[in-house]
A = this chain, B = another copy of it.
Amino acid sequence: MRNTKTPAVLISEVGPRDGLQSVDAVMATADKFKWITALHAAGLREIEVGSFVPAKLLPQMAGTADVVRHALTLPGLTVMALVPNLRGAQAALAAGVHKLTIPVSASAAHSLANVRKTREEMVAEVRNIVALRNEIAPSVKIEANMSTAFGCTIQGEVKEDDVVWLATQVIAAGADESGLSDTTGMANPAQVRRLFNKVRAAIGDKTGAAHMHNTRGLGLANCLAAYDVGVRTFDASLGGLGGCPYAPGASGNVVTEDLVFMFEAMGVPTGIDIGKLIAARAPLIAGLPGEPVYGMTPEAGLPKGFVPARSTEAADV
């Protein structure tokens, strides 16, 4: 295996959805094309390109169908979109996405605030979306990731049993995978290890991505903790753009640049060229003038003598 660069982890870029929907400015659709093209050129192979929600609720997501059509021209890219309900799924499948992501809140209070549905109603919605997918686009994958899995800014603690229960429910409803999202930046590494282990015990290899925020600076430590217990898909946002507008006090996603640097430095291949990844900040900045972007690695530069991961062999750390 030496000298191959088969990725050992999948970095799923969520900036064009999670990032853009959290800022007030609206990126023009043509600028989204340029940004997504640059992300793909850096080696990203899964991008959440937008969400299918009413444009009057989220004007930032107005051009998502066009963005999907552009992204579908990029070879080897899994084009993912967020859909909160059946109507969104219909539009996403019509646009031709490869993968749907449905947010399901582990916190009862957050579920009502975010999608105005109970958790049980969201499980039913997952079931309806699965039925639609089975009927008209059986090759499309569906993930149902759990928001507020590690705590909620509205209700505080979220019981681990609730998370495991909901993961089991959405998989029983036909979702292909279910990951855990730290929507509110409340997770800690011990909790990340414990909860991913519990969820894996319940749903096995249908356990999905770790979606971590850096609200209290623990984003990368939490990703490391998830990696340690076998998670291999990580959501991140270029420049740390993003957060959840319905979770007051929550701040940005894990920074893609820093996450990729961490894994590559550890000898875990990501398939991503860090230089090109940093270059992909230019179309983001050009498309959102004046919006702050973050990232320690882009500011510091790569270390002298830095060697990216060379093989999957080194991934046993």
When the two chains form their complex, are residues A304 and B153 in contact, meaning their CB atoms are under 8 A apart? Answer: yes
Cβ–Cβ < 8 Å partners of A151 in chain B: 303-305
Task: Choose the segment among A131-139, A162-170, A201-209, A214-222 that binds chain B (4+ C-beta atoms closer than 8 Å).
Answer: A214-222
Cβ 8 A contact of A317, one of B193, B214, B216, B297: B193
When the two chains form their complex, are residues B190 and A317 in contact, meaning their CB atoms are under 8 A apart? Answer: yes
Question: A271-316: which have CB < 8 Å to B?
Answer: 295-297, 300-301, 303-305
When the two chains form their complex, are residues B305 and A216 in contact, meaning their CB atoms are under 8 A apart? Answer: no
Q: Is A52 an interface residue (CB 8 A)?
A: no
Q: For A188, give the chain B residue with the smallest CB separation.
A: B265
Cβ 8 A contact of A305, one of B156, B223, B255, B304: B156
Per-position contact with B for A148-183: 1 when CB-CB < 8 Å, else 0? 000111111100000000000000000000000000
Cβ–Cβ < 8 Å partners of A193 in chain B: 317
Q: How far is the CA of A295 from the CA of B185 in the complex (A)?
A: 14
Q: For A249, give the chain B residue with the smallest CB separation.
A: B300
Min Cβ gap A234→B in Å is 13
Cβ–Cβ < 8 Å partners of A262 in chain B: 188-189, 216-218, 221
Q: Is A251 an interface residue (CB 8 A)?
A: yes
Q: Is A191 an interface residue (CB 8 A)?
A: yes
Q: How far is the CA of A258 from the CA of B235 in the complex (A)?
A: 22
Q: For A295, give the chain B residue with the smallest CB separation.
A: B217
Min Cβ gap A201→B in Å is 17
Cβ 8 A contact of A258, one of B190, B218, B225, B265: B218
Q: How far is the CA of A152 from the CA of B267 in the complex (A)?
A: 19
Cβ–Cβ < 8 Å partners of A186 in chain B: 303-304
Given the interface pairs A184-B303, A300-B185, the reply to whether A216 lies near B153 with Cβ below 8 Å is no
Given the interface pairs A221-B224, A317-B190, the reply to whether A301 lies near B214 with Cβ below 8 Å is no
Between A218, A296, A305, the greatest number of chain B beta carbons within 10 A of the residue's beta carbon is seen for A218
Given contacts A151-B305, A193-B317, 12 further A-B contacts (CB under 8 A): A151-B304, A152-B304, A153-B303, A185-B303, A186-B303, A188-B262, A188-B266, A190-B317, A216-B300, A221-B224, A224-B225, A251-B300
